Amino acid sequence: MRTPIRKLGKFGALTQDPLMTADKFSELKQKLNTLYASRPQAAKEVSRLAELGDFSENVEYQLAKSRLRGIHNRILTIENQLKHAEIIEKPVHAHRVEIGHTVTVEVDGVEKMYQILGSSQSDPTKGIISHNSPIGSALLGKKAGERVQLVLGGKEIEYKIIEIH
């Protein structure tokens, strides 16, 4: 089954980042199995409410149908993600920063650690940044000891790479 093609809004041109860790891949598979398991019950509920008649005034039917549609949409989205997934392997060499590395940097005298992964897993509050983010893309390909200059929020910030894990 294909993902439905709809008129896209403001962010419609953005493509899904296929890069993810093996843990994220298995998490998505588990979520997909949960959705598959919930689909028959949702379909039964829709057919039970359809028997009550008049669809235009049957709010419960409309809500059940919407839930079923949401389950189908999430299934299609996750299947598409899994189909196009590219698993990030832990890089063996720590000579240059690559996707999958954890990098210790110094910013204004403070040490910070960033793990560089795909966009679908980024969580800046936990120190996980995307390879597409300004910081992530600036760090890629650099060596320990190098400095990276970035302009963020109108301020120029310098990151010094201390260690690559």
- Residue-wise pLDDT for 124-161, tens only, equals 999 999 999 999 999 999 999 999 999 988 899 999 99
Q: Which of the pair, 1 or 32, is modelled with greater confidence?
A: 32
Domains of the chain listed by start with CATH number: 19-87 (1.10.287.180), 102-164 (3.10.50.30)
pLDDT at residue 5 in the model: 65
CA gyration radius for the chain?
A: 22
Residue 4 has pLDDT above 80, yes or no: no
Average pLDDT, the chain: 90
Chain segment 54-97, per-residue pLDDT in tens: 777 788 999 999 999 999 999 999 999 999 999 999 888 788 99
- DSSP characters over 93-120: --SS--TT-EEEEEETTEEEEEEEE-GG
Q: Which residues contact 83 (CB under 8 A, 6 or more apart)?
A: none
Classified as helix, coil or strand, 19 is: strand
pLDDT at residue 52 in the model: 82
Question: What is the Cα–Cα distance from 130 to 24, expressed in whole angstroms?
Answer: 14
Name the pLDDT band for 12 (thresholds 50, 70, 90): low
